[in-house]
């Protein structure tokens, strides 16, 4: 365990670039005491409104919160929500010079109504069209300028139009040529846009969809392990890490072996943003001297902390240390 704690202490030396879909997460927190007379729906009496970074912005925030140095690039609209998101990120010490404003699109806003810890509804305001070639070129120019100064790059693809196939492939190529670790948190149906990345980290649903399979087809151990090898070959990545919720995480290695870590928190409060925490912790660990299995272990423990909180949340080094110590007494 001491070795893992030493790795966490080195997080502060890691400088990681996150590129992808930026979002603003809004939470309307309150209570429901009655049903509307206008329709059979609950009335939320809002007591608190909070706004937090979401999507790729949440991944960057997790890196920063865990002690690393995050650089963020992506696109927001030329609107109030975009300004709010950039201000939130700047307040948290995240480098936002790579965030471009595009007046032809809206900043993605996800509003969640929550009553006593339970989500009632989520409302999405967004544009999903691909960014223009001009905006793409601006992002690539920024990424090229940062590659010499980073240890890893994370592509956070929520299918909101920023991670075009060309942008994804160029980032992976730049990383490979600069000996920088490339990690992908991708939701695309066609994982060929992530071909050649260092590691791709889907959840179980995304994992199945990438292979044109239904999740229930992966219910048997044999089919699941076979699917891991198939995705490795399809993406031509060095590794595949599948997030399986309460079943933990499974790492498929290029040499044909696999490593599984059980879920740390079996009673999650809210899984929103857990994937962002997982890839942030995993990338920080890898760039801080951890081997693959140690990185999976630390990512699992970080997720165990995050899912114990309501809403999109982040984890501190101290929380990660304490979770490690509590579970390894």
| Average of per-residue pLDDT across 213-227 | 87
Write out the two tokens for 315: 């984890």
What residue spans of the chain are helical by DSSP H?
2-9, 56-65, 80-91, 133-146, 165-177, 204-210, 221-235, 274-286, 292-306, 317-327
pLDDT at residue 220, as a whole number:
86
- In tens, the pLDDT along 91-144 reads 999 989 999 999 999 999 999 999 988 899 999 999 999 999 999 999 999 999
The span from the CA of 22 to the CA of 107, in Å, is: 8
- In tens, the pLDDT along 247-263 reads 899 999 988 899 999 99
Q: What share of the chain is helix, strand, coil (3-state, %, to 5)?
A: 40, 30, 30
**Active-site residue set:** 276
Within a 13 Å sphere around the CA of 324, how many CA atoms are in the beta-carbon half? 20
**Helix (H/G/I), strand (E/B), else coil: 157:** strand
Residue pair 19/56 in contact (Cβ under 8 Å)? The answer is: yes
pTM for the whole structure:
0.94
Distance linking the first and last C-alpha atoms of the chain: 10
Domains of the chain: 2-25+52-327 (3.40.1190.20)
The span from the CA of 282 to the CA of 296, in Å, is: 6
How far, in Å, are 8, 259, 261 from residue 251 at the CA level?
20, 5, 8
The average confidence (pLDDT) of the chain is 93
Quote the percentage of the chain above a pLDDT of 90.
Answer: 78
| Average of per-residue pLDDT across 83-93 | 95
Residue 324's closest CA among 261, 246, 260, 243? Answer: 261
pLDDT at residue 329, as a whole number:
66
- In tens, the pLDDT along 26-49 reads 999 999 999 999 999 999 999 999
The span from the CA of 30 to the CA of 15, in Å, is: 38
The span from the CA of 307 to the CA of 276, in Å, is: 11
pLDDT at residue 103, as a whole number:
95
Which residue(s) pair with 49 in the sheet? Answer: 28
Residue count of the chain: 329
pLDDT at 71 over 90: yes
DSSP 188-245: -S-GGGGTT-SEE--BHHHHHHHTT--GGGG-SHHHHHHHHHHHHHHHT-SEEEEE-G
The span from the CA of 59 to the CA of 65, in Å, is: 10
């Amino acid at each position: 365990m001491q070795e893992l704690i030493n790795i966490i202490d080195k997080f502060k030396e890691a400088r990681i670039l996150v590129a992808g879909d930026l979002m603003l997460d809004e939470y309307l927190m309150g209570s429901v005491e009655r049903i509307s007379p206008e329709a059979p729906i609950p009335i939320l009496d809002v007591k608190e409104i909070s706004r937090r970074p979401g999507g790729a912005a949440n991944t960057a925030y997790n890196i920063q919160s865990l002690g690393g140095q995050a650089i963020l690039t992506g696109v927001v609209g030329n609107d109030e929500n975009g300004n709010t998101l950039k201000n939130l990120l700047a307040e948290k010490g995240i480098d936002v010079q790579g965030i471009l404003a595009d007046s032809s699109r809206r900043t993605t806003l996800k509003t969640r109504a929550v009553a006593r810890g339970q989500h009632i509804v989520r409302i999405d305001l967004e544009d999903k069209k691909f960014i223009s070639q001009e905006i793409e070129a601006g992002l690539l120019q920024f990424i090229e300028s940062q590659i010499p100064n980073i240890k890893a790059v994370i592509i956070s693809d929520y299918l909101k139009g920023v991670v075009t196939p060309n942008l994804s492939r160029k980032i992976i190529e730049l990383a490979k040529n600069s000996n920088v670790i490339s990690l992908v948190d991708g939701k695309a149906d066609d994982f060929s846009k992530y071909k050649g990345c260092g590691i791709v980290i889907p959840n179980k649903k995304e994992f199945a969809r990438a292979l044109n399979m239904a999740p229930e087809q992966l219910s048997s151990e044999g089919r699941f392990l076979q699917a891991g090898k198939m995705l490795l070959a399809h993406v031509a990545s060095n590794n595949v890490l599948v997030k399986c919720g309460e079943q933990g995480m499974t790492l498929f290695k290029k040499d044909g072996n696999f490593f599984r870590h059980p879920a740390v928190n079996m009673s999650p409060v809210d899984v929103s943003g857990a994937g962002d925490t997982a890839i942030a912790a995993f990338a920080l660990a890898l760039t801080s001297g951890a081997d693959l299995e140690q990185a999976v272990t630390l990512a699992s423990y970080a997720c165990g902390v995050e899912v114990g909180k309501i809403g999109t949340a982040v984890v501190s080094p101290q929380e990660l240390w304490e979770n490690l110590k509590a579970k390894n007494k």
